[in-house]
Amino acid sequence: MQFWQSLIFCESDQLVEIAPLIEGLGYTGVVLPDHVALPDQAHSSYPYSEYELDPKAPFLDPWPAITAMAAVTQRLRFSTYVYILPMRDPFSVAKSVATASILSQGRVALGLGVGWLAEEVEILGHRFAGRGARSDEMIEILRHLWQTGSAEFHGEHFDFPLLYAEPQPDDPIPIYVGGHTEAAIRRAARCDGWMGLDFAVEEIPAIVERIRKAVDREKRSLAAAPETPFEIILSPRAEPSQDLYRRLEDMGVTGVVLPSWSLQEGDFASAGAKHRQLEDFAEAFL
């Protein structure tokens, strides 16, 4: 079982200090969230819970934050959870993620989603409707750019002649797709993994079965080659226990995202408090 620590709303001046601690304790990696421009008033509602997004929340740009943490670690992996793909252009995304991958020696994954905040997507100059199809084309373009440093594409949303966007990453960049809808699961099945948010344990077998069927339809086995396993990464809505993690593994879950300190009860403002909580969890479960 992989254990990923969420860093949502972690104090920015603590990231470089905390990353080596997380690595040294044996965690798999860390995940960072993504938003760019949050409207003061929005009609969109978060689809997975009653969570209300604070428009003044301090969302760091994940790629420079990842690069800074990669510079002080050697093994720790990094992923976005999730990067809102269709409110960008594919060329800037390809460049940012490839750069982070190169500087981290291949420890970066792109965890992406199509977004739920219509106002933000439109502020950044893109239509909210059709964002799924736009994302599908972007994923195809990203793969071409990362594999060859060039791409030519003629689609509904993107149409361009042969171009080059170096540098190519030295290592493959896994793409994980977030979302609970059938479209999101189909998209994930064409990529390297699926990421889910806040599931009750009794709901997990059904979502894993949906993913397995989608992967089978895409002619890919969950028992893929060891170097490219299909990942199922989620955050369970349950108290941590050895029994829970054994059950999740038996269900087919490959990774768990642990809640950010900002979402836990208690005072975790200091790096020391975070370190103690990380040590306690590692001693019990890693």
The Cα–Cα gap between 256 and 196 comes to: 10
Domain count within the chain: 1
Residue 28 domain-assigned (yes or no): no
pTM of this prediction exceeds 0.85: yes
Residue 181 domain-assigned (yes or no): no
CATH number for the domain harbouring residue 78: 3.20.20.30
Residue 114 domain-assigned (yes or no): yes
Residue 253 domain-assigned (yes or no): no
Is there a contact between 19 and 76 (Cβ–Cβ < 8 Å)?
A: yes
End-to-end CA distance of the chain: 9
Residue 100 domain-assigned (yes or no): yes
- Along the 286 residues of the chain, how does pLDDT read in single tens digits? 999 999 999 999 999 999 999 999 999 999 999 999 999 988 887 777 667 788 898 899 999 999 999 999 999 999 999 999 999 999 999 999 999 999 999 999 999 999 999 999 999 999 999 999 999 999 999 999 999 999 999 999 999 999 999 999 999 999 999 999 999 999 999 999 999 988 999 999 999 999 999 999 886 545 444 456 899 999 999 999 999 999 999 999 999 999 999 888 889 999 999 999 999 999 999 9
pLDDT of residue 49: 67
Residue 48 domain-assigned (yes or no): yes
Range of the domain at 82: 37-173
The Cα–Cα gap between 17 and 20 comes to: 7
- CA 284 to chain centroid, in Å, comes to 25
Residue 266 domain-assigned (yes or no): no
